[in-house]
Chains A and B, each alone.
Chain A
């Protein structure tokens, strides 16, 4: 399955650019005139509008097509989609990148740029068709009748404004209340979304808040004018699993308390299982299936939905079947690894000391996979960097094939580098866009003394091995999709015939169906070559698919280590228990029976 050449982030940025151009095409004077006229008429209220749609439907999308500018890979961002959002329900729109789910949300918000416009169909908001409404009428609906929260809470708040000021701005923008009443309302809202010490929080700048707290501020902002509809565009994707569980809980609580309708966009079936009442499945701009959550999750009718659900990694209670006839020689053994980050200056009393890795020990034998699982800031990536010596550790030893590499100088370690290779997270950033794939693959081995023709031959072999055709050798990275690029990254790592692969969030940036393929590929490669692997991930479900043993990291320490069956069925530490409980959609009732991954697992029960 191929991905579109433009990533979702890029498309969104482009949408922002284009929409800005459109808005400024209008004269400023005229806009002001319209605004006063609007005030005179009395602002269009959600409740004023006569319901033309069936009762109980707040938002109705009918035969909506949104056209893309010429030269894009398809003519429509979405084509002929129809769905209803009922009052007091949570509607989940699920799809992989490029499915058109974000475009749909932007169309409903009236935030589509000129170049990407609604070409046909209707969007009824409480009975009023908003397609073709003037920008000013749309602006008056935004934040008041429909609110939206976004994926990345770290960048969605203005760094120069206090939290309180940003919440008040929604009310000020719609001329609601007085400065004093807005202020007390803002503090009430901060209380409502469960932020600690609201009066203090009111005066805080966003940088002081954690990701989860910022997302709560976004929700408070969205709720300020009690809108009928909340659109949540992947609101938990950028969050840690425990934070994600809290935010999902909050959205569900508020939705129930206020009887609000929520349109929730996600790519994660776990999240769908957690909160959806109704589900719309989108693929490449088409709505392929819709129905109640129960129906879509339990008995999906469309092939694509079934494939998507099958690709979702699930916690397996069973352990991986070990590779046959493998010797159990230790490949890498770490003992008491410590790395402390220091910033600022000790001399002037501004020093900050962060223990990133704090006494970590583990042992990995050949042909086995060790999963390192933890939330952001747990030190898992720092550990990865220590192991390939991109960073020196403060103390401890790293025994690689019996030799301590921790104290080696760069020059001494260089001959060993080929044996420990890394697969990176971002398949878009980790390949040099100006080198051909062939060059990317051969440059390392040639630098280590391999003859070019030999390296090129091996590169072609590996490319076909990882599922790309040999023609890929002469092409450039931008010609490949995300999944294909990750295959190139894997081939690059294998060029050296490494003994140990370190995969740092190697599948996190990929869609689930591609994720499943890459996991399968890694599994297959390990069985063929006997390479050991350290698989660093934040996703317990993914770890359970590929790892023989899992180490759970928390604040720089391994709090628990054991086979997946122990970690997931019988966790010893309270942190692991918390982590496992937070995984969305893993209640026994919500997981479909056939969702098992790969041929190398017993058909295990899912948790």
Chain B
């Protein structure tokens, strides 16, 4: 186990280095850049721009910029935002809780609903429920999220007036209930697509587990169908789902670009979009590394959980 962890860790480090190099290079090769916005500013002379570039260290060769950035990163210094000069980690921290709230809620919702729908669809295969779940999943997967968001706002905000159209809280209120009130619509809209994905995978995994010989053995033992489902089928069906959950982890923390934009949710997705728009490279690079670490972590956690749950791996 420790050997496995060590080897995975060393692979991860190599992966992160490669991701950061590619990210850094591509970002800096893009036309424009942080200084381009001053090109049309009559108050800025060429000299001013050059002074600014020197100040930000942008006049150095790219590879030195990268090494400098990477060396500081290793020391825990993620750099400072070009926009307001605050530390990148502080900027990320400001948006993380909002994303965590939204994504955490919707993912928990999606996993719970998706698991139930998937199992029920498998045990009641080709029933009306199964057909509805299948068609529903297809719709949720094929219609873009922003459409659901806009339709949701139209119906529940404009027509029914049940929920607010956006933002995380009402300025001047900020009570728990107020937060929840704002959370309902975006988290439901966001969970739609995840329910669809999760329920489809869960259905397949359950069907697979149901067709295993040990289910037949359990029936031959006289075990009740309910117990067969709970004790023999669900456990085996959830094994492959752990990997899927591990792949979901990064998105919980990196946010949903579209949904956060539609509902003006101050999360990581919007931070990324805004930072890109302002060519705020330190923040963009910070987000890139942050999500890369999460992808690696998510997969690692999934592998560890599987190793704990599955005796074939735990004891082998």
- Give A residues with C-beta under 8 Å from B: 12-13, 16-17, 19-21, 23-24, 28, 31, 35, 109, 111, 139-144, 147-148, 150, 152, 155-161, 169-170, 173-174, 205, 207-208, 218, 221, 344-345, 347-350
Contacts and interface: CB of A to CB of B under 8 A. Distances in A.
B94 interface: no
B205 to A, nearest CB: 14
B312 A152 contact: no
Contacts of B311: 159-160, 205, 207
B236 interface: yes
A201 to B, nearest CB: 14
Contact of B225 (A24, A143, A152, A170): A24
A218 B310 CA distance: 21
6 contacts: A13-B211, A17-B125, A19-B219, A31-B225, A173-B227, A345-B3
A156 B213 contact: yes
A345 B215 CA distance: 36
Given A144-B222, A160-B310, 5 more contacts: A17-B125, A17-B210, A140-B222, A147-B221, A344-B3
Contacts of A16: 210-211, 215-216
A19 B125 CA distance: 12
B65 interface: no
A531 to B, nearest CB: 40
A235 to B, nearest CB: 12
B7 A347 contact: yes
B6 interface: yes
A350 B3 contact: yes
B217 interface: yes
A348 B216 contact: no
B47 interface: no
B217 A157 contact: yes
B142 interface: no
Contacts of A148: 220
Contacts of A161: 231-232
A31 B316 CA distance: 41
Interface of B: 2-4, 6-7, 123-126, 210-227, 231-232, 235-236, 239, 309-312, 315-316
A173 B216 contact: no
A349 B227 CA distance: 41
Contact of A207 (B126, B227, B309, B316): B316
Nearest to B2: A348
Nearest to B235: A160
Nearest to A138: B222
Given A155-B213, A157-B214, A142 B225 contact: no
A140 B235 CA distance: 25
A399 to B, nearest CB: 40
A124 B123 CA distance: 31
B220 A111 contact: yes
| Interface core residue of B124, B219, B236 (most chain A CB under 10 Å) | B219
A169 B231 CA distance: 10
B39 to A, nearest CB: 53
A161 B7 CA distance: 29
A16 B222 CA distance: 15
B3 to A, nearest CB: 3
Nearest to A140: B222
The 9 closest A-B pairs by CB, nearest first: A348-B3, A143-B222, A142-B222, A155-B213, A205-B311, A143-B221, A148-B220, A158-B214, A173-B223
A133 to B, nearest CB: 13
A159 B221 contact: no
A150 B217 contact: yes
B9 to A, nearest CB: 11
B6 to A, nearest CB: 6
A278 B130 CA distance: 48
A111 B219 contact: yes
Contact of A20 (B4, B123, B316): B123
Nearest to B309: A160
Contacts of A158: 214, 217-218, 231-232, 236
Contact of A350 (B4, B210, B232, B309): B4
A348 B6 contact: yes
